[in-house]
Amino acid sequence: MIDPVPVALLALVLACALATAVLRDVLAAIIAFAAYSLGIAMIWVLLEAPDVGLTEAAVGAGVTTILFLVTITKTVRPPSEAIFESLDPKGLLVAVLIAGVLASTLGALPPVGSAETPVAQSEVTDYYLDNAYEQTEVKNAVTAVLAAYRGFDTMGEAVVVFAAGVGLLVVLGREVFA
Partner 1 sequence: MSTPESEPVTSEDGDTGDSDRTLYVESPIIMGTVRVVAPFVFTFGLFIMFHGADSAGGGFQGGVIVSTVILMLAVAFGVESTRDWVTPERLVAIVGVGVSVVLLLGIGTVALGGSFLEYDVVPIDHFNKYGIELFEIGIGVIVSGIVAGLFFGLAAGASGDQRNDRDADEREGLL
Residues within the interface to partner 1 (CB under 8 A): 50-51, 53-55, 58-59, 62-63, 66-67, 70-71, 73-74, 76-77, 135-140, 142-144, 146-148, 151-152, 154-155, 157-159, 161-162, 164-165, 168-170, 172-178
Nearest CA-CA partner of 135 in 144, 125, 126, 124? 144
- Least distance in Å: CB of 5 to partner 1? 19
- Least distance in Å: CB of 124 to partner 1? 17
- Least distance in Å: CB of 94 to partner 1? 30
Report the residue number, 91 or 165, with the smaller CB distance to partner 1: 165
- Least distance in Å: CB of 2 to partner 1? 27
3-state secondary structure the chain: CCCHHHHHHHHHHHHHHHHHHHECCHHHHHHHHHHHHHHHHHHHHHCCCHHHHHHHHHHHHHHHHHHHHHHHCCCCCCCCCCCECCCCHHHHHHHHHHHHHHHHCHHHCCCCCCCCCHHHHCHHHHHHHHHHHHHHCCCCHHHHHHHHHCHHHHHHHHHHHHHHHHHHHHHHCCCCCC
Report the residue number, 21 or 141, with the smaller CB distance to partner 1: 141
Report the residue number, 92 or 155, with the smaller CB distance to partner 1: 155
Report the residue number, 46 or 148, with the smaller CB distance to partner 1: 148
- Least distance in Å: CB of 164 to partner 1? 6
Report the DSSP beta bridge partners of residue 23: 84
